[in-house]
Amino acid sequence: MKPELSVVIPVYNEESGLAKLFARLYPALDALGIAYEVIYVNDGSRDKSAAMLADQYRARPDVTRVVLFNGNYGQHMAILAGFEATRGDIVVTLDADLQNPPEEIGNLVAKMREGYDYVGSIRRQRQDSAWRTWASKAMNHLREKITRIKMTDQGNMLRAYGRNVIDLVNQCSEVNTFVPALAYTFARKPTEIIVEHEERSAGESKYSLYSLIRLNFDLVTGFSLVPLQFFSLLGIGLSFASAALFILMVIRRFILGAEVQGVFTLFAITFFLIGVILFGIGLLGEYIGRIYLQVRARPRYVVQAILEQSSGEDKQSS
């Protein structure tokens, strides 16, 4: 039977928190009284997570499916693989660390039933370290300015997507992407609700500062050309300014004769411009690197196995 709700959960080295997740997730979903399925995507965990997911599959095979990657491809690739496996009309994504309370899923579903096809969420009070909360706010602000994506709280994964949105996301083959933003671009009628946010139940964040920076580059370069255009405009502005400076220098040369003062000012200006150029080249490199990854067209992730009960239809198709 086709479930109405699919819940997608990426899992990477979460052995210490999975038991707590199962203990809260299933009662919360059972309480909704609708046909559902939970799809876990094991993103190449090196701990006992995969075995624990397999055990959970054996405990609740009717509503549990597990996609096993052969390596670590990142949270967003894991979610995309989960999307491809979904069958429900409403798809909800959730983190495995219980930072997104499973009890909120009912609220997302209720909002979807009001006719929206994308329900984002805003964390009432974010339970992350102060520097992350601040950096994330700053990036949110920048993204708001340079893309057409309207998300109050881009970092939160607790979101619901309609089948129409999921089908379109499944047609994309982006190598580096940010799922909530990608899905937003396909939504006809998006909205947001406020949800709770909790501290990580166990283990620690899988994101280092470096991977967070990379994720944010994905978000900015994957959804906007404004940074490139900004650089073209800056180049035009600087060319005009240096032309004006040149004319000024020529006039001074004829009125005052040869001058040698101001060498340090000249150096300061030069170093500033070199900085701007290097930044511009780096930015170009970001786009080119992404083009390179995309044209190589290697598989985005490799699914090693899928644990699922085959229904009658599935048997025919496989």
List, in sequence order, every residue forming a beta bridge with 69; answer none if it has no partner: 303
- Looking at residue 314, its amino acid is D
Q: What is d(CA 107, CA 28) in angstroms, rounded to the nearest whole number?
A: 11
* Residues 6 or more apart whose Cβ sits within 8 Å of residue 160: 90, 91, 92, 108, 109, 111, 112, 118, 119
Instruction: Please identify which residue in 56, 75, 154, 221 interacts with ligand UDP, judged by CB under 6 A.
Output: 75
Among the listed ranges 58-66, 146-154, 201-209, 264-272, the one in contact with ligand UDP (CB under 6 A) is 201-209
Instruction: Tell me whether strands 64-69 and 36-42 are parallel, antiparallel or unpaired.
Output: parallel
Of 54, 39, 41, 55, residue with least CA distance to 11: 41
Is residue 136 near ligand UDP by the rule CB under 6 A? no
- Nearer to ligand UDP by C-beta: 5 or 18? 18
CA distance 9 to 102: 11
Does position 75 interact with Mg ion (CB under 5 A)? The reply is no
The one among 96, 109, 151, 165 contacting ligand UDP by CB under 6 A: 96
**Among positions 3, 10, 102, 190, the unique one binding ligand UDP when judged by CB under 6 A:** 10
Q: Write the CA distances from 15 to 6, 102, 280, integer angstroms.
A: 22, 18, 43
Residue 17 touching ligand UDP (CB under 6 A):
no
Options 43, 117, 174, 192; binder of ligand UDP; rule CB under 6 A: 43
Q: Residue 209 and residue 27: Cα distance in Å, rounded?
A: 35
Instruction: Pick one of ligand UDP, Mg ion, none as the site partner of residue 104 (Cβ within 5 to 8 A by kind).
Output: none
Q: Which two tokens stand for residue 217?
A: 């580059």
- At 208, give phi and psi (nearest 5°): -85, 170
Q: Is 32 exposed, middle or buried (0-12, 13-18, 19+ CB in 10 A)?
A: middle
Indicate whether 78 belongs to the interface with ligand UDP (CB under 6 A): yes
Does residue 205 bind ligand UDP (CB under 6 A)?
Answer: yes
Residue 74 contact among ligand UDP, Mg ion, none, beta carbon within 5 to 8 Å by kind: ligand UDP
Report the partner that residue 75 touches, choosing among ligand UDP, Mg ion, none (CB closer than 5 to 8 A by kind).
ligand UDP
State in angstroms the smallest separation of the CB of 77 from ligand UDP. Answer: 8
Mask: binding to Mg ion, 79-118, rule CB under 5 A, as x and -?
A: ----------------x-x-x-------------------
Binding stretches for Mg ion (CB under 5 A):
95, 97, 99
Q: Which residues bind ligand UDP (CB under 6 A)?
A: 10-12, 14, 43, 72, 74-75, 78, 95-97, 99, 205-207
